[in-house]
Amino acid sequence: MGKLRFILPNTFTSLNFLLGVFSICWTTGAFGSFSAADPIRMGAYFVILSALFDKLDGFAARLVNASSEFGAQFDSLADLIAFGLAPAFGFFFAYKTYAPEWFQNHGLLMVIALAIYVLCAAMRLAKYNACDCDTYHHHFSGLPSTFAGMVNATLIVFLKSKGTFDDPSTFIFWLPIIVFVITGFLMVSPLFLPKLQPRKNKPFNIFQIVLILLTYVAGLLFYNEKVPYILEYLLILGTSYMVIGFGVGIIYRKQIIEEAKAGKK
């Protein structure tokens, strides 16, 4: 196969990159003439699709033995677009579109929140490539950008469907801003989050597989507003994973660090 085997994983990475670009195009209205669909929801949908396809490049690389430094750097660049810039544009334009008067009076706050999130996403990806990719095999150090982007995109669409942006005086109106900044800092935090990997516990493995399959189904149907409970499912799953996962990471922090040090020897 020679160098041809590198085409498969890089094709998935290219798709992930383009989905992120298309998400920004939808969110900013560049694709508005193509469809009457809500541009914020469509932008979020492309972020969700990017998250679903994100792991396929790594899987394909292992499948055909085509891992490379180029592929790793290309993947990080694609992740920065799809889970750093695209969710940030979705967050920014959601307030600009749904609450224009409030946005006009709080523009500086929105710029600061956007800057924090994007910078944290970029630093997380750089840190992963430089320090963490060969250190922690069973845990993430900090919140993965894929997960942060998916949670923020889903939250915006969910709250819009509940009419949250109609009343700036409520706490819930501020929730996307709070979550956006918190997930930004969590990406560069020293907290550990268990990876979704095969375990020795077979029932738990089956449980993981079922959740992953349901997530793919929910993600693919995300664009359809008539399908019930998709947004709720994704948010409950995401919140549970963060709370439980980081809790486990805190409890076993010392053991995780010791295992990583032992692996380097």
Give pLDDT tens digits for 16-46: 999 999 999 999 999 988 888 899 999 999 9
State residue 4's pLDDT score. Answer: 65
Cβ 81 vs Cβ 22: under 8 Å: no
pLDDT above 90 (res 189): yes
State residue 56's pLDDT score. Answer: 73
pLDDT above 90 (res 98): yes
Kindly state the average pLDDT of the residues 236-253: 94
For the chain, the structural domain boundaries read: 2-264
pTM value is 0.91
pLDDT above 60 (res 10): yes
Q: Which residues pair with 192 in a beta bridge?
A: 141
- The helix, strand and coil proportions of the chain, stated in percent and rounded to the nearest 5, come to 80, 0, 20
CA dist., res. 120 & res. 130, Å (int): 15
State residue 202's pLDDT score. Answer: 87
pLDDT above 60 (res 126): yes
Q: For helices 39-63 and 202-220, what crossing angle results, to 10°? A: 140
The 3-state DSSP class for residue 139 equals: strand
Q: What is the CATH number of domain 2-264?
A: 1.20.120.1760
State residue 264's pLDDT score. Answer: 65
pLDDT above 60 (res 2): no
Which residue, 119, 234, 219, 116, is CA-closest to 177?
116
CA dist., res. 195 & res. 126, Å (int): 19
Give the rounded distance of the alpha carbon of 16 from its chain centre.
Answer: 12
Kindly state the average pLDDT of the residues 146-151: 95
Least confident of 44-48, 125-129, 140-144, 179-183: 125-129
Kindly report the average pLDDT of the chain as a whole number: 89
Which residue, 179, 182, 215, is CA-closest to 196?
215
DSSP symbol at 222? T
